Structure 1
Amino acid sequence: MSTESAAAENESGARPDTDPAAAASAEAEPVSADDAGAGSTGTDDTEESAVAAPPDETDEDDAEAASEDGAAKGAEVSEAEAELAAQREFRERIAERKAAKEAPIDAGTKLSGTAADLLAAVRAVESGEKPVAAPVLARTEPEPRRDTSAASPAEPVRRPQAVGQASPDPEAVTAVRAVLVEGGAPDSLAAATAAALGEGAGDELRADPWQLLRVSGVRPEQADGFARALLGAECGPDDERRGRAVTVWLLEQAADAGHTALDLPVLADALGKRGVPDPEEAVQSAVAEGDALIFHDPLEDAPAAAPAPATDEEDGEEEEAERPVRVLVGLERYALAEESLADGLARLLNATPKDEGSATAGLEEAAGAARGTTAELIRAIAAHRLVLHTGGEAARAEPVAAAAAAGGLGLRVCVAAHGADGRRRAAELLGPDAPETATATVAGLLAQAEGPGLDRDGAFALDLLVVLDAPQLDVGDAAMLVELLADGTCLVLSGDPGTLWSAGPGRVFADVAAAEICPRITSRTPDFGPIGELVSGIGIGELNQVEAPGKEVVIVPVRDPAEAIHRTVQLVADSVPRAIGVPAEQTQVITPGHGGAAGTRALNVALKERLNPGPGQFGGFDPGDRVVYVTGRGRIRPGVVVGADAEGLRIECDGSPVLVPKEQVEQGAVRHGWAVTGHQAVGVRWPAAVVVLPGDATQALSRPWVYTAFGRGERHLSVVQGADAALPRAVAEVPAKPRTTRLRSLVRSQVPAS
C-alpha cells in the first residue's frame, strides 16, 4: 500500500459525546427561527434517539427531504412522488383489511391472510393484564391469491403516476400560523404543522401544544417552550399530553435509527431521561390513543418456564409451560409493514411454481451449462420461491446471469437495484438484447415507472424478480414488493451482508437470513485487485496493507480537518487525474457526516470553489455544479446542474433531464454532490473514490461504514486519514449497531426453519 505523506504527526480530534436520551430542559426556551425550522433539527452529525446511530445512517436532513418529496407541484412528476403515491395506496389497502377485523390477535400468533390484520394488537399495558406468551405455531396456510400463470401476454398495466400529497388547506395553515406566533414559534412551521396534524390542525395544536413534536425537526425542549408560552401555569412535565407526545417522538427517533420497535424498558428509560415522571403511564396513554402498539414476542432462545403443578380441579392435567416474552412498543405503520412482509414471505414459500414442467427442466439444463455459484443459484431458483444470495461486488454477476438464463427460457424476469448506477451495471451484464423492462430501480419498480408493470390482476408481470443490494431494503419497500408478487413468482434477494443496512427502519435481509427459511447461496467469487483485497479483509475485521503497484490504494495522513480539506481538493482536482487518469467529475468524495469541520458541507464548499466557482445564482447553485437529488431516505440521484427557471432547478441525472420544483430545492432535496456520506454512496460505484476520515468524526466509524466507503472506487481509492488509531479499531471492534426488529420471529412463527 503506497503512502503519500503529509508533514508532521497526526492529531486526532474528538466530537463531543451526546446522551441520546438526555432529559428535556425544565427551562427550555420557546422554539425560535434559529433552532427549529421545517427542515432542521439543529444538529449536524448526531441524532437524538432512543438508540444512537451513526449520523450517516440516520441523516436527519435526508429523512426530512424524503418526507417532503412529492409535496411540491411541478411540471414533471418525480420518481419519489410516484413512490409516495404507491406507498399511500399500499397503506390504504392494509388499513381496509385492518378495519375488517373485529377481534384482536397477539403478535406472533397465527395470522389470517395478510399480516396487516394484526393491528388490533395486545393492549396489555393499557389493561394491566399479565403478558401471555404466544404459542408456537404450525405452518400457516397462505391466503388464496391470484394466479397469473394463465394470464394472456397482454401489455403490462402501468399505474398513472399521481402527483404527491396535496398542499394543506390555506385556511388551516392560517389558523396554525396564528397559534404558532402566539406560542413564540416560527410561522415558517405553519405548512408542515398543518400537513402533519390534518383537519382542524389549529384547534388541535392549541388544545395540545406538544403535537408540535409531530413536525420533523422539532425537539422536546422546543415543544416544551412552546407549550409553556400557550398554557402558562397549566404547563408541567407531568402533563399526560406531554408524556404521550414524547413517547411517539422517541419511537420516531428510533425508527430513524433503524428500529421497527423498542423494548419497553428501553423506551421507559428514555422517557425518564426526557423528564417524563411516569413512563409507564405515558406509554399506556399513547397506546390508548392509538399512537403506539404493544407486542409480546416470545424469546426464541430462552428456555420455557417450568409448568405450574396440576390441581385436583384440573384432573391431574398440568399447565403448558410458558415461554418468556419481551414486551415491545412500536408505531403502527412499521408494525403493518413487518407483519405484512412476514405474511407475504410465507405466502411465497408455501406457493407452488407456476410451471413445474418445461421451465424447471430448462432451468436444470441451464444450471448444467453454468459454473460454480451461478449453477447453484439457478438450481435453487428452479426448486424454491424465495432464495438468498450473498457476495461482494464481483458476485453481482451471478444473480444477473441466473436471470438471463431464466429469460432465455421465456420466463418474465426483472433485476432491480438500489439506484440508477446499479441498474445500469445490471443492464450491461444482461447484454444489449435484454428488454428495457428487464431492469429497474427498486423505487421505479414500486412506482411502476420502470420494470414490467402490473398484469391484469394487479401483480407484477413477472416469473422471477432478482433484487440486488437487498440489504438496502427497509420494511416498507420490502413489504410493498412482496405484496405485488403473484403466487408462484420466485424472489431472489441478493446483496453484500457487510455493507451498511437500510437507511429506513428494519434489517430485512439480515432477518430473513437469520430465520433460515429458504436456501442461502454464498458466492465463492472474490473481489479482485488491491481494492477488493483490502475490502475483503475489512469484512472479516482486518485492516491489512495491500500491494498496490499501480497506486490503486493510496493513504494520505493528515493532522487536522483543515489539512484534510486541503489534501482532498488536491487529490480530486490534480493528483488523481494526473496519476491515475480519472477526471475530477468521475471521482467521488465520501465522508462520515454532513456537519463538522470536514463534513460534506465544508468539503463541497471547498471543492466548488476549486472546480466550479460561481455566485450560486440559482438558489446557491451554478450551471456545471455536481449535485445529488435526494429522492428518498437513503436514495440519491447524482447529477449536474443545467440551469433554472420559474418552475425549478433543471439538472441532468444519468443522461436524462430532471426538473426539481422550486419548493423541493428550498427544502434541501438538492445538494452539492462532490462529497456525499457513506450511506448516500451505497449501491453506487465511481472510477475513483476519496474517503475522508477527519479526527472529529471517529465516533461515526464502524466496520460496515468503512467496508462500504472503501468499496466505492472501481479503479482507485485514496484515504485521507485523520482518524489515526480509530480506523483500525473501528474495523476490528465496531460492528453494525443492533436494530430492534420483529421480522425474524414473525417469519419463524409461520414458516419452519429450512
Structure 2
Amino acid sequence: MTAHPRGEAPDPAAENDEDREETGAPAARTPGAAPEPAGEDDAGTAQDTDETGLSAAETGADDTQDTDGTRETVTETDGAQEATEASAAAGLSEAEAELAAQRELRRRIEQRKAEKEGPIEAGAKLSGPAADLLAAVRAVESGEKPGTAFFDSPSPAPRRAPEAAPTPHRPSPAPRPGAARAASPEAAASVAAVLKEGGAPETLAAPAAVTLGEQAADILRQDPWQLLSVPGVWPEQADGFARALLGPECGPGDGRRTSALVAWLLERAALRGHTALDADEVRAGLTEFAVADPEAAVENAVAEGVVLVFQDGVDATGAQEPDGTEEPHEGAEGRAESEQAPVRVLLGLDRYALAEESLADGLGRLVNSCEKGADWTEAAASAPSASAGELIRTAATAGLVVHSGGESARAEPAALIAAARALGLRALGTTHSVDGRRRLAAAVGDPRCAVTLSALLSGEDGPGRDADGAFALDLLVVLDAPQLDVETAAMLVESLADGTRLVLSGDPGVLGSAGAGRVFADVIAARACPQVLSRTPDPGPIGELVSGIGIGELAQVEAPGKEVVIVPVRDAGEAVHRTVQLVADSVPRAIGVPSADTQVITVGHGGSAGTRALNTALKQRLNPGPGRFGGFDPGDRVVHVPAPGRAVPGSVVSADAEGLHLDCEGTPVVVPADRVESSVRHSWALSAHQAAGMRWPAAVVVLPGDAAQGLSRPWVYTAFSRGERHLSVVHGVDQALPRAVTEIPAQERTTRLRPLLEALPTPDAS
C-alpha cells in the first residue's frame, strides 16, 4: 500500500537541552523553571497515527554552514571608530573602510608595544585560556606585513611523531563539557540571599553558584546582569533583578548590561549550533533589547575580554580560498577587486574558539604522525564487502579518515576494527548511545571492542589513560560522528597519542550535534583527509524511503509487508489518539512488534501533540499509576539526561530517600531527588535529537499540524530511519512534509573549523 506523505518546515538543527524548547514570549518565561532534560528538538507538536497506506520520506544533510577563510585576529577597540569614520569621510567602500580601520588598529598596537612592556589594555582583563589565545594572536601580529596578510593566521606546525617510542606529553583530560557540578551549601546560601534581595527566585541559587563559582554572591552584587549566564534566565528578568539591586544607577546602556547581553546572544547561538556569529547579527540582536549604540556595546565587550573577534575573508566572487587568502587577479582591475573584497567580522566566545583551535591542531597532528606499520593487504582482501575493504586500505595509510554511509554501512567500521585487532593493534569503536554500542559489539563479535563515547571520555569504560592522559589505542573508530560537538571532539582528539589512527564514521544526512559545532561536516568540507563513501544501501522499503529523503525526494515506496504506513489525521487530538492506538494495539497485532519495542518520535516537547502530551497519554494506556515518585511509577519508560546532549533510555525501578532508582539498559542508576525533575522524563515519546544514534524494531513518527515549522530534511531523515522493521507516520502537516524534504536541507551553522583545517599543512608539505 502506498499513500502520499506531505510536509514542510525549518529544521531546529542542533538542540542543546533546555534552550531548544518552545519559544514563547520572553516575558512569559520564569527564571529557575525546570529545564527540559536533553538536547532535543523543539518547535512543534505531534500527531497520532494508525495504519493505512504507506510511503513518505525526507532526509537531509546536517548543518551546512561553511565559514571558510576564517582567520583569527583579536583587535583592540580604541581607535577603531575613528579610523572607520575617517575612511567613510574619504569616500571608501565599506570593505575598504574595514580594512583601513584594521590597519590603523594594528599601527596603534605596534606603537604601544614599542612604548611599553606591559600587556595591551584591551585584553588586560582576560585570563587563563582566553589570555593564552589572545597572546598567541598578538604574537602573530608582530612584524610588518601587507594589509591582506593581517587577516591570515599562519598554518600551525604539525606535531610530529617522536623518533623513539615514548608517548608525547599530554595534559590530563578536562571534565566533560556540560557535566554536572555541585555548589557548596555556603555559596548557594549567599547567592540565595542576594537573589531574594533582588526579587529573583531563590531556586536559581544553586545553578548560579555552579555557573559563577564560590564568589557568585559578590559577582552578582557588583554586576547583576551576570545572572544572564545562568541557564534559563532571560534579559527581561536580569534587568528586573539589576533594577532592584542598583536602583536608578542602572540603565539600558550600562556597560555591564551590554557586555552580558553580547555573551548571552552568543550562548543562545551556541544552542543553535553556532561557534561564532557575524558581528552584524550580534548588533541586530542588541537593538532588540533597547541598546542604543550596538557598535559601542560590541567594542566594549571585546575590550572587556567577554568575546573574541575573528576575520573571515572572502574573495570578490564570494568563493573562499583554502588558505583564506584572495585569489590573485590580473591587472589593475583585478587589484581593485581584491582590495574591495568583503571582510566579514565574527564574534565568538573563548571556549568555542579554543576548542576549534585545539581540534584543528590535534587533527593535523594525527594526519602528520601516521606511520604505515603492519601490512593490511590481506585484511583488506578478505573484507566482507568492497566498501569495507576500501575503508581498511585507506585506514592503513592515513592517520585521519572520514567514512560516510547509512545504517547498513555501520558494518564497515566494524570490519575495520576486527581486522585491526587481528593484526595485533589496539582497536576500539565508540558510539553515541548504549544501543549503538550493543549493535557495534555484535557486528565486531567482541563486546570489549565497543564503548559509548561518554563512557570512554569519563573513564567508565575503555582502555583507560596513561600517565600523560592519552588512551592506549592504535585505532579509534567514532561512529555516529555527526553527533560530535566541537568541545567533545577537541577533548577526544587531545586524548589520542601521536600515531593513533582516527576514523570518523557516520551518516551525513542525520541531525547534527546537540552542542555547538559541525565537526563531521566541517572535516568533510575541508577535505583534510581521505574520505570513504560507502556503497552499501539500506535494504527494504524503509531504506528506500530514507535514501530518497537523503537526496531531497519524498517518493512513494512499495511496502507489501506494511513496513511503511501513513496515517492521516486532521488535528492534534486525533494525532494523540491514533498514536496511542498504534503503539498499544495496531503495531503489536499487525506487525508483531510489542509496545515495549515501539518508539514514538515527535517534533518538540510542547504543544498539544508534543512529547509531554504523548507521554501522558501513553503512560495512561501502557503503565497507569499515580506517579507517586515525583510523577513516576515503577515500570515507566524514561530517559535519563546526565548531561546536555546525552539521553540514556531506561525504566523506573523504585524510589527512596536516596533518589529515583533506574535501570538504564542493565546499568543501575540512582538520580538524586533534586535532579529528577530536570534530568528524567518519560520516554515512550522522544524528540528526533534524543532518538539519534538509536534504533527500534518499530517507530511511530508523529507530525501534527503545528509541527510544520520544526521540520527539515535532516529531521525527517533522522526520524524516519529509527525503525528497523516498521515505520508508521501519523501525518497531519499536509504539504509541509514534502516541502521540508525538498526545500529545507538543514539549518546553517557558523563555525570556524573548516578554514582552520584547510590552513593545515599536508603530510607532503611538511
Kept in 2, the 8 Å contact 1:119–1:335? The answer is no
What is the letter of the counterpart of residue 676 of structure 1? L
CA displacement at 1:271 relative to structure 2: 1.2
Classify 1:476/1:147 alpha carbon distance in 2 versus 1 (closer, same or farther; 3 Å). Answer: farther
Classify 1:560/1:148 alpha carbon distance in 2 versus 1 (closer, same or farther; 3 Å). Answer: farther
Q: Does 1:37 find its partner at 2:32?
A: yes
What is the letter of the counterpart of residue 427 of structure 2? V
Q: Does 1:393 find its partner at 2:403?
A: no
Q: Tell me how far apart the structure 2 counterparts of residues 247 and 36 of structure 1 sit (CA, whole Å).
A: 19
CA displacement at 1:120 relative to structure 2: 3.6
Q: Does 1:738 find its partner at 2:748?
A: yes
CA displacement at 1:298 relative to structure 2: 2.9
Paired residues for 1:651-670 under 5 Å: 651-666=662-677, 668-670=678-680
Classify 1:701/1:132 alpha carbon distance in 2 versus 1 (closer, same or farther; 3 Å). Answer: same
Kept in 2, the 8 Å contact 1:103–1:120? The answer is no
CA displacement at 1:46 relative to structure 2: 5.1
Q: Tell me how far apart the structure 2 counterparts of residues 438 and 476 of structure 1 sit (CA, whole Å).
A: 24
CA displacement at 1:186 relative to structure 2: 1.2
CA displacement at 1:145 relative to structure 2: 5.9
Q: Which residue number corresponds to residue 484 of structure 1?
A: 495
Kept in 1, the 8 Å contact 2:478–2:503? The answer is yes
Kept in 1, the 8 Å contact 2:36–2:679? The answer is no
Paired residues for 1:452-531 under 5 Å: 452-531=463-542
Q: Tell me how far apart the structure 2 counterparts of residues 593 and 753 of structure 1 sit (CA, whole Å).
A: 46
Q: Which residue number corresponds to residue 89 of structure 1?
A: none
Q: Tell me how far apart the structure 2 counterparts of residues 568 and 627 of structure 1 sit (CA, whole Å).
A: 18
Secondary structure of the corresponding residue to residue 565 of structure 1: helix
Q: Tell me how far apart the structure 2 counterparts of residues 729 and 737 of structure 1 sit (CA, whole Å).
A: 15
Secondary structure of the corresponding residue to residue 642 of structure 2: strand
1:692 to 694, 702, 727: 702
Deviations 1:455-494 (A, max 9, x none): 3443111111111010110001111111111111110000
Kept in 1, the 8 Å contact 2:653–2:663? The answer is yes
Q: Does 1:141 find its partner at 2:154?
A: no
Q: Does 1:419 find its partner at 2:414?
A: no
What is the letter of the counterpart of residue 345 of structure 1? L
Deviations 1:688-739 (A, max 9, x none): 0000001111100000000000000000000000111100110010111110
Paired residues for 1:75-474 under 5 Å: 118-120=133-135, 133-134=149-150, 140-143=156-159, 149=165, 167-299=182-314, 301-302=319-320, 304=326, 325-353=343-371, 356-357=372-373, 359=374, 361=375, 363-370=376-383, 371-431=385-445, 434=446, 436-474=447-485
Count of matched residue pairs: 653
Kept in 1, the 8 Å contact 2:159–2:369? The answer is no
Kept in 2, the 8 Å contact 1:11–1:559? The answer is no
Classify 1:410/1:14 alpha carbon distance in 2 versus 1 (closer, same or farther; 3 Å). Answer: closer
Scaled by the length of structure 2, the TM-score of the pair is: 0.79
Q: Tell me how far apart the structure 2 counterparts of residues 308 and 546 of structure 1 sit (CA, whole Å).
A: 54
Q: Tell me how far apart the structure 1 counterparts of residues 175 and 646 of structure 2 sit (CA, whole Å).
A: 22
What is the letter of the counterpart of residue 629 of structure 2? F
Deviations 1:194-237 (A, max 9, x none): 22222332222122221111111011111112222222322321
CA displacement at 1:539 relative to structure 2: 0.4
Classify 1:281/1:422 alpha carbon distance in 2 versus 1 (closer, same or farther; 3 Å). Answer: same
Which runs of 5 or more residues in structure 2 are unaligned?
Answer: 12-19, 45-61, 64-117, 121-128, 140-145
What is the letter of the counterpart of residue 390 of structure 1? S
Classify 1:498/1:166 alpha carbon distance in 2 versus 1 (closer, same or farther; 3 Å). Answer: closer
Classify 1:11/1:529 alpha carbon distance in 2 versus 1 (closer, same or farther; 3 Å). Answer: closer
CA displacement at 1:150 relative to structure 2: 6.7
What is the letter of the counterpart of residue 187 of structure 2? A
Deviations 1:387-424 (A, max 9, x none): 11110000010111011111111111001111111100
Kept in 2, the 8 Å contact 1:4–1:556? The answer is no
Kept in 1, the 8 Å contact 2:10–2:746? The answer is no
CA displacement at 1:174 relative to structure 2: 2.6
Classify 1:586/1:147 alpha carbon distance in 2 versus 1 (closer, same or farther; 3 Å). Answer: farther
CA displacement at 1:285 relative to structure 2: 1.9
Deviations 1:266-307 (A, max 9, x none): 111111122211112212222222221111233372583989
The percentage of aligned residue pairs carrying the same residue is 61
Q: Tell me how far apart the structure 1 counterparts of residues 522 and 600 of structure 2 sit (CA, whole Å).
A: 32
Q: Tell me how far apart the structure 1 counterparts of residues 153 and 255 of structure 2 sit (CA, whole Å).
A: 39
Classify 1:164/1:219 alpha carbon distance in 2 versus 1 (closer, same or farther; 3 Å). Answer: closer
Q: Tell me how far apart the structure 2 counterparts of residues 665 and 188 of structure 1 sit (CA, whole Å).
A: 15
Secondary structure of the corresponding residue to residue 683 of structure 1: coil
Kept in 2, the 8 Å contact 1:553–1:716? The answer is yes
Q: Tell me how far apart the structure 2 counterparts of residues 160 and 472 of structure 1 sit (CA, whole Å).
A: 19
Provide the alpha-carbon RMSD of the alignment.
3.7
CA displacement at 1:168 relative to structure 2: 2.5
Secondary structure of the corresponding residue to residue 512 of structure 2: coil
Secondary structure of the corresponding residue to residue 641 of structure 2: strand
Which runs of 5 or more residues in structure 1 are unaligned?
Answer: 48-56, 59-101, 105-113, 125-129, 152-156, 311-317
Classify 1:135/1:404 alpha carbon distance in 2 versus 1 (closer, same or farther; 3 Å). Answer: same
Classify 1:132/1:198 alpha carbon distance in 2 versus 1 (closer, same or farther; 3 Å). Answer: farther
Secondary structure of the corresponding residue to residue 411 of structure 1: coil
Classify 1:123/1:199 alpha carbon distance in 2 versus 1 (closer, same or farther; 3 Å). Answer: farther
Q: Tell me how far apart the structure 2 counterparts of residues 507 and 159 of structure 1 sit (CA, whole Å).
A: 21
Q: Does 1:599 find its partner at 2:599?
A: no
Kept in 2, the 8 Å contact 1:615–1:622? The answer is yes
Kept in 1, the 8 Å contact 2:43–2:606? The answer is no
What is the letter of the counterpart of residue 367 of structure 1? A
Classify 1:180/1:537 alpha carbon distance in 2 versus 1 (closer, same or farther; 3 Å). Answer: same
Greater shift, 580-589 or 237-246, is seen at: 237-246
Classify 1:281/1:526 alpha carbon distance in 2 versus 1 (closer, same or farther; 3 Å). Answer: same
Scaled by the length of structure 1, the TM-score of the pair is: 0.80
Secondary structure of the corresponding residue to residue 142 of structure 1: coil
Classify 1:161/1:679 alpha carbon distance in 2 versus 1 (closer, same or farther; 3 Å). Answer: closer
CA displacement at 1:162 relative to structure 2: 14
Q: Tell me how far apart the structure 2 counterparts of residues 123 and 170 of structure 1 sit (CA, whole Å).
A: 42
Classify 1:514/1:116 alpha carbon distance in 2 versus 1 (closer, same or farther; 3 Å). Answer: farther
Q: Tell me how far apart the structure 2 counterparts of residues 306 and 429 of structure 1 sit (CA, whole Å).
A: 51
